[in-house]
Amino acid sequence: MRLGVLIKVLLTLALGAALGLGATWAAVWHGAAFGGVVAGPWRAWPRAGARDRDPYAAAVLARTGEIPLDLAEGLVFYAETDSDDRALTAACVYRLRGPTPPARFWTLTATGADGHLIENPAGRYGFTSSEVLRDESGAFEIVLSSRARPGVWLPAPAGETFRLVLRLYDTPVAASAGALGPADMPAVIRESCA
């Protein structure tokens, strides 16, 4: 009888350890952190650069080697899907259209799923707020495609999924990012796919 109880306890402990380690691995390797903000397809973790960040964010940063922006410096948003929640892939043409939250300066880059810039024949890796034209409402428009397009074109990495990174520098929304909604961020619209 005691052996049966001991086996059940050991199995329970082993299962608990496996589930705990599995959840931790998933959180660290898939970038899960607490306090995330979602605005349409864009996601940010405003406290990632803070000293009191959660341990999962600290583990993700230790694994990736990224140096996050502190709240006083700005805020970084990531988009891995379009506005209809479909993965961004180089087989499709996308149009980024809309406003950005107020910021002194911003950059927009297309990276591989691992966050690294990807070589492209045009040598263009992103745009800054000083390079794009805006309409009277303050909105801008950028076309993302693996092949050259007319207008403001940003090459998407050929043959793979990618993500967009929007860095807002010296922005008042860093401390109140939770109040942002989809209308405050550029929409990522899929136009066509090959």
93-139 confidence digits (pLDDT tens)? 999 999 988 889 999 999 887 778 878 788 888 999 998 888 888 88
Query: Averaged over 134-145, what is the pLDDT?
Result: 89
Give yes or no for a contact between 75 and 129, defined as CB atoms under 8 angstroms apart.
no
pLDDT at 94: 94
pLDDT at 35: 64
Give yes or no for a contact between 97 and 167, defined as CB atoms under 8 angstroms apart.
no
Single-letter residue type at 125? Y
Give residues with Cβ within 8 angstroms of 149, minimum separation 6.
93, 143
Give the whole-number percent of the chain exceeding pLDDT 90.
Answer: 28
Query: Averaged over 14-43, what is the pLDDT?
Result: 75
In the numeric block, which tokens belong to residue 155? 């090459």
Tell me the C-alpha distance between 85 and 105, whole Å. 27
Q: Where are the beta strands (DSSP E) in 49-174?
A: 74-79, 92-98, 105-112, 126-128, 140-145, 153-155, 162-169
pLDDT over 60 at 144, yes or no: yes
pLDDT at 52: 73
Query: Collapsing DSSP states into helix, strand and coil, what is residue 146?
Result: coil
Give yes or no for a contact between 81 and 41, defined as CB atoms under 8 angstroms apart.
yes
Closest C-alpha to 41, from 95, 97, 81, 93: 81
pLDDT at 31: 56
pLDDT over 90 at 184, yes or no: no
Range of weakest confidence among 12-26, 54-68, 84-98? 54-68
pTM above 0.75, yes or no: yes
78-94 pLDDT, tens digit each: 999 999 999 999 889 99
pLDDT at 108: 94
Confidence of residue 26 (pLDDT cuts 50, 70, 90): low
Give the whole-number percent of the chain exceeding pLDDT 70.
Answer: 84
